[in-house]
Structure 1
Amino acid sequence: MIKKELTSLNISPIERGTSTGEQWFSAGEILVSTSPVDGNDIGHVCASSREDYERVLNIAFEAKRSWADIPAPRRGEIVRQFGEKLRARKSELGKLVSYEMGKSYQEGLGEVQEMIDICDFAVGQSRQLYGFTMHSERPAHRMYEQYHPLGIVGIISAFNFPVAVWAWNAALALVCGNVIIWKGSEKTPVCTIACQKILAEVLADNELPEGISSICTGGADLGRWMAADPRIDLVSATGSTRMGKEVATMVAARLGKSLLELGGNNAIIVTAHADLKLTVSAAVFGAVGTAGQRCTSTRRLIVHKDIYNKVRAALVDAYTQLKIGNPLESQNHVGPLIDHQAVESYLAALKEIEDEGGHLLTEGGIIQGEGYGSKCYVKPVIAEVANHYRIVQKETFAPILYLIRYEGSLENAVTIQNSVAQGLSSAIMTTNLHEAEYFLSHKGSDCGIANVNIGTSGAEIGGAFGGEKETGGGRESGSDAWKVYMRRQTNTINYSGTMPLAQGITFNL
């Protein structure tokens, strides 16, 4: 279905999944990338062996010093050129993202646009890797802080955003003077290869050495190699909370640095003062966009009893209008889940909802028939539940929206929202200024992202992205997230000709 795009992106039917730039090699097992859109194979990728991984690390280790020696604005120029390459290939890469992952073509284009946006941000940041100057208590001394590159940044990304989250990390890590090693999801390996080839073109055009940007392909074992490897100065991992805990434990055991973007169990609070039209629009897109496979997908809708029935009726009506099918066709709102394992998780969640006493307001199940041959298409579901249900406390990567009624004050709704282990994204729908400000106060949402009158899904490049609690506490993308990719150093310069000590201490020799 996307042969033209694959050719344009220089993707062959059989690809090597290990690269340090222009060099490509692999000696591991063969992975088959199968599209959830139609069940057809996209390509075969030879995964990385342990020997391949060691070769990548050795080359990256050699490259890190020469890359760090290049002035930061010049590194920014390389990232700018990468952004221009992405602009030229936005359509092809966006379609590949859609076809290999299963999100709509518009969402695929949006994901590539995020890559372009973070490149633009990083270019400006390359001239703003600022430190601070402070006054010393000792005469004729100057104190300041500065930031240096870490060295090697390992990036582990997930299938649901197969290119954008890597770019968030890569663009900033590169302008900060680090080299990068990327383990893309084994479920979307062709997207990983396509991105590496585009960036490798830029590096080769500028006669830069191998190892500035590398990829390895594989499963959980590869992630464990990276987490345990003391040569990797920072491991940035995006995925499930279970995976993140394993990565964090292994990195901490060697006193390394980790940046974790993990699970979400995101809620929208709908108060009695909410705008119903805004509420339904935000909730539906948040719940069914990317077939509910975003870390910021809306999982829970916490609705005040006074408007509960209106919201419920409007949501059920909206769900009858959803079109489910091939995400490359623009009339469809919902595409497939990533694979059959995801479908099984969805079906298990539906059973658990009913076992715990929940009520399905819309019919669930797998969609059969012509055009759904991959058997990865499922019906989006609205379920009336109580927040304490075990299934509601979990994150199910599927289009399941939990409808929860609350009574009394906004404090009650916030308590319900915050009583889950995850803390990524949250929102409140209200036209009441007091409610909005309370939600954003220290007494309100405990999430890393808190929105008013927009949904939980989606984020702008300019702000730091990330969450609290079992979401991992990391921050990526905008604001001052660049600092995590650098090491902080405090400097004191004595130009007095004497040796005064701090705190007035004297030490006479």
Structure 2
Amino acid sequence: MDFLQETGILTRQSGVSTGTKWQAGEGADIASHSPVDGKLIATVTGASAAEYEYLVKTAEAAFRKWREVPAPRRGEIVRQIGDALREKKQALGRLVSYEMGKSLQEGLGEVQEMIDICEFAVGLSRQLYGLTMHSERPQHRMYEQWHPLGIVGIISAFNFPVAVWSWNAALAWVCGDVCIWKPSEKTPLSAVACQRIVAEVFERNDVPEGVSCLLSGGREAGMWMSADGRVPLVSATGSSRMGQSVAATVAGRFGRSLLELGGNNAVIISKDADLDMALIGTVFGAAGTAGQRCTTTRRLIVHKDVYERFREKLVKAYGQLRIGNPLDEQYHVGPLIDKAAVETYLQAITACREQGGRFIVEGGVLEGAGFESGCYVKPCIAEVRPDFPIVQTETFAPILYIMPFSTIDEAIEIQNNVPQGLSSAIMTLNLREAEQFLSCAGSDCGIANVNIGTSGAEIGGAFGGEKETGGGRESGSDAWKAYMRRQTSTINYGKKLPLAQGIKFDI
């Protein structure tokens, strides 16, 4: 496959790098099988504890140099990374699609997100601003400034194998930080390809080794960073259970964690909704990426007056979904990441039936020609009650739960009554309903949309959620502040030293 050659993927390679330099990878082997066809793509060697120590020491040395580079110059280098990603967009997008299983258009879209965040970071590099405050003391000036933290550890998930890393890395780099990236062991090759692209740009610009480090490995590699006091910030994307472990470990050493965890996202369909528009947002939100987005639509709350009509539209639309090789653009839905995910999908369907759910679109595993990997499943829909335990749980698969409501207050209560709080949406042409949904008494999620679905977010806004989603914010807005430390400074330009609050201390 040409895209493997273009991204430099070898049959066997190291996943441990400080930039242009690659270590042997003396840890466990990580085999990357494509869920598209079940074939082994390549084997990556993970890091040993000794190699991790080498990465950290190299990163520490690099930070002392990188923080002194003017922020606009750091931004210019990140701009060049964006250009390099443009050149490799087709090849990298195909690799992401083949290794992870998402559709080609989504794979290309993920690379475009990387390009977009680089552009955002370039502008940000000239806007790392603080405030100037008036002092209560004469001939004094107060101001705040922001300094880089140091090493930022990034733990990314398989469903967005490159984009979420770039959200963190691009911002961290312009802020003056250095990064150690621990990618998902399910998608190590996409990370290797990104490291090579970045390393070429850094080498051209004489950026020291260690500004971008790659740490391939299993759970233990993430825990090394979480427990390491030399890593002041750990940004982790994954399950809520994983996030609890990371947060507890990092907090135990007074470090910072930035968490992007589970979602159990709902769309409310009002009786005043444009049902055709709502249908598009719902189907893509529920079936896109085979239900493996943290922003996937998992619950559909439909007003009783339009419930039957919308359910009929939804069933008809699901009947038109085409499932198959994600590299072929005629297909809407690709495979789940692996057979373990398929088993979780089947267990959720069984649990739903046992709890009283009724499937109006049946699920199941696809077999036969084109489905040899055993990872292709049918997107399905079940009528449920909102209090079913399975409905309270995030299942990373294309299972949509549908339920009716009578009043907007009831719908919002159902929407909020789950442990997770990432993304939410309401489909309505009723201004009062829309404003209530967006008010402090409305959605309790970090993302709340009107007349668009739950899935998909622009890099200009801060991305993240509340409750068991972790509370972190990445990407746009002022998310950059997570990667820096705030310092308040007071300058006395007078000839006396008055104390604050008028305190007298004569000696």
User: 1:5, CA displacement in angstroms?
Assistant: 1.0
User: 1:207, CA displacement in angstroms?
Assistant: 1.6
Counterpart in the other structure of 2:227: 228
Counterpart in the other structure of 1:429: 427
Counterpart in the other structure of 1:19: 17
TM-score (normalizing by structure 1): 0.99
SS at match of 2:361: coil
User: 1:262, CA displacement in angstroms?
Assistant: 0.3
User: 1:363, CA displacement in angstroms?
Assistant: 1.5
Question: Following superposition of structure 1 onto structure 2, how do residues 89-100 of structure 1 map, counting pairs within 5 Å?
Answer: 89-100=88-99
1:347-376 deviations in Å (ceiling 9; x for gaps): 000000000000001111100010000000
Counterpart in the other structure of 2:360: 361
Counterpart in the other structure of 1:191: 190
User: 1:79, CA displacement in angstroms?
Assistant: 0.3
Question: Following superposition of structure 1 onto structure 2, how do residues 268-417 of structure 1 map, counting pairs within 5 Å?
Answer: 268-407=267-406, 409-417=407-415
User: 1:7, CA displacement in angstroms?
Assistant: 1.1
User: 1:208, CA displacement in angstroms?
Assistant: 1.7
User: 1:10, CA displacement in angstroms?
Assistant: 1.6
User: 1:131, CA displacement in angstroms?
Assistant: 0.4
Counterpart in the other structure of 2:244: 245
User: 1:405, CA displacement in angstroms?
Assistant: 0.8
1:165-218 deviations in Å (ceiling 9; x for gaps): 000000000000000000000000000100000000011111221100001111
Q: Does 1:171 align with 2:165?
A: no
Runs of 4+ in 1 over 2 A off after TM superposition: none
Counterpart in the other structure of 1:81: 80
User: 1:148, CA displacement in angstroms?
Assistant: 0.1
Distance 2:181 2:357 in 1: 41
Q: Does 1:503 align with 2:498?
A: no
Distance 1:159 1:30 in 2: 17
SS at match of 1:382: strand
Distance 2:223 2:206 in 1: 33
SS at match of 1:69: coil
SS at match of 2:110: helix
User: 1:64, CA displacement in angstroms?
Assistant: 0.5
Distance 1:379 1:76 in 2: 44
453, 462, 482: which is aligned to 1:464? Answer: 462
| Gaps in structure 1 of 5+ consecutive residues | none
User: 1:9, CA displacement in angstroms?
Assistant: 1.3
User: 1:470, CA displacement in angstroms?
Assistant: 0.5
Distance 2:434 2:301 in 1: 15
TM-score (normalizing by structure 2): 0.99
423, 436, 439: which is aligned to 1:438? Answer: 436
SS at match of 1:24: coil
Question: Following superposition of structure 1 onto structure 2, how do residues 146-157 of structure 1 map, counting pairs within 5 Å?
Answer: 146-157=145-156
1:256-315 deviations in Å (ceiling 9; x for gaps): 001000000000011110111011110000000000000000000001100000111100
User: 1:27, CA displacement in angstroms?
Assistant: 0.7
SS at match of 1:21: coil
Distance 1:4 1:230 in 2: 42
Distance 1:500 1:11 in 2: 65
Q: Does 1:29 align with 2:28?
A: yes
Distance 1:280 1:206 in 2: 49
1:316-352 deviations in Å (ceiling 9; x for gaps): 0000000000000011000000000000000000000
Q: Which moved more, 1:217-226 or 1:336-345?
A: 217-226
Number of residue pairs aligned between Structure 1 and Structure 2? 506
Distance 2:65 2:49 in 1: 26
User: 1:13, CA displacement in angstroms?
Assistant: 1.1
Read off the aligned partner of 1:217 and give its amino acid letter.
Answer: S
Distance 2:423 2:28 in 1: 38
